[in-house]
Amino acid sequence: MGLSILKAGIADTLQDQGRYGFQHLGIPPGGAMDPVAILVSNALVGNQANEAVLEMHFPAPVLLFKSSALIALAGADFGAEIDGVSVELNQPLLVPQNSTLRFTKNKSGARVYLSVAGGFVAEEWLGSFGTMLLVQKGGFNGRNLATNDSLLFKKNRVEKIESLIALPWRASLAEFYFGNCIQCIAGAEATALNEEATTNFTQAVFSVGIQSNRMGYRLNGPNLNTITQKEYLSTAVDFGTIQLLPSGQLILLMADHQTTGGYPKIAHVSSTYFATLAQSPIGKQLQFEWIDIATAEKKLIEQQQNLQQLQNACNFRLQEYFSND
């Protein structure tokens, strides 16, 4: 009862919403890069928001379902097909036993998430089932999935079915993803930039560099300089912190970031933009604009309310559909 990896993809792991309360010990929260996609994919199959899902990149794996399942895909569009039939993102799918899921084309985004009703069996570490590659803990033996690995389902919530069925509703996520302009709150060392660098930070175009991963995005753009050269004490950093490297280039910290850093902290990305960043592939162009904390908090509250409404709607539709089945 589960699925097997017929062909491994690139850096595919089990992730949940992360492990919190351990940054003082040097352990970052980690978790899914896209906080919207994991919540939506779980909601579509009736799971709790923090259930572990499969985070995949392109080229993505080929998956064989060893048992029937209710699944959903959210995040990037990698041209998903089940037994040659194209399937949509953000829609619950009833998948028959022995079906094969393939991803045929990188159309948009950077990460796609697969949820299964009932969840995956995963290793727990410090209260989370997410994979922490740096210490090889959590998820599936603390590592990326490989060819011939098998993932077990916690529960068999679907009776045997004979053919693929797309349930008749989809989630609309347009309001949760934004364009290239990323909103930021000023960091502690924002005033350390000289006048030219201050202007360039909000007017220049930066691109996600090839040396980017779950720890952070290297941003290619104009060199930014500080007013004076000085060393800074190492202090706490978080998902979304933008630091200025000695080279004058920027690094934007992501889910597997370190917990402290001594480089100047120029800005902190508003958390409502984490999903947009997570779906920004190598080469994606970004710009930044300033907002204040009050505005960022208001946007976050609105986003959380909208996600809760979406989750409630999914639960209602699932109950309605299966109660009438």
Give me the residue spans of the domains in the chain.
2-172, 181-291
What token pair was written down for 222? Answer: 């104009």
H or E element in which residue 307 lies: helix 293-323
What token pair was written down for 52? Answer: 């572990």
Going edge to edge, which strands form the sheet with 108-116?
A: 13-15, 53-56, 108-116, 69-77, 93-95, 165-166
What is the predicted pLDDT for the residue at 115? Answer: 98
Domain 181-291 CATH class label: mainly beta
Burial of 143 (0-12, 13-18, 19+ CB in 10 A): middle
What is the predicted pLDDT for the residue at 323? Answer: 62
Contacts of 49 (CB under 8 A, 6+ apart): 17, 38, 39, 42, 43, 311
What is the predicted pLDDT for the residue at 47? Answer: 94
3-state secondary structure of 206: strand
Q: What are phi and psi of 242, to 5 degrees?
A: -110, 120
Across the chain, which distance is largest between two alpha carbons, in Å? Answer: 69
Residue 98 falls in which region: left (phi positive, over 0), alpha (psi -120 to 50) or beta = left
pLDDT digit string (tens) for 262-306? 999 999 999 999 999 999 999 999 999 999 999 999 999 999 999
What token pair was written down for 91? Answer: 């829609």
- Averaged pLDDT, groups of 10, the chain, 325 residues long: 95 96 92 97 95 97 96 98 97 96 97 97 96 95 97 84 92 94 96 96 97 96 92 91 96 96 96 98 98 97 95 89 61
What is the predicted pLDDT for the residue at 324? Answer: 52
